[in-house]
Structure 1
Amino acid sequence: MKRTLLIIGFVLFLGVVYMVTAPLVDMLATCNSLANFVVVAWFPAIDAWYYSAETEAMYDKLWWFWFHLINGDPELGS
C-alpha cells in the first residue's frame, strides 16, 4: 500500500511539474526580447550545472534513496 501511494504521488508530482513548465516553455518559444535573453543567457548555464559532476552525484544519491524507499530497505526504516 505504501509503495502504491508513493508511485501515485510521484506520478502526480511529475504531472504538476509538466503543467507548470509547459506554459513556460511555450512562453519562451515566443519571439520577445526577454525570452531570447533567457534562452541565450541562462540555458547554457543551466546545462553546465545540470551536467556537472556534482549534480550527477546528487541525482545518483536521490535515485538510490527513491529506489530503496519504494522497494523497502532496513537502512531507511521501511
Structure 2
Amino acid sequence: MGDELFEHKTKSELTREEAAQRLHELADAIARHNEVSFVENNKTVRVDIPPRVKLKVEIERGVEESELGIEITW
C-alpha cells in the first residue's frame, strides 16, 4: 500500500466476554506475530508493530455511559 492512508474502524455491540476475547486475539497477534491484519474490500492489510510502542489508556466514567479507550502508537 506504500504511503497510502489506511483507516479501519469497526463498532459493534458484544457481551463483555466477547469483547475480552477480541482484545485477547489482538494482543496475541501483536505478541506472537509482531503485526495485526485487517480485511477490507477483499484485501488484507498487515500493520507491522515495532518492538517499542506508546500505550495510552483512558477511562471515562459517566452516569449513563462509561468508556475505556486503549491506544497504541509508534
The structure number with the bigger radius of gyration is 1
Q: Which has the bigger relative contact order, CA under 8 A and spacing at least 6? A: 1
Does the TM-score normalized on the shorter chain lie above 0.5?
Answer: no
Higher strand fraction: Structure 1 or Structure 2?
Answer: 2
The TM-score normalised by the length of structure 1 is 0.34
Higher helix fraction: Structure 1 or Structure 2?
Answer: 1
The TM-score normalised by the length of structure 2 is 0.36
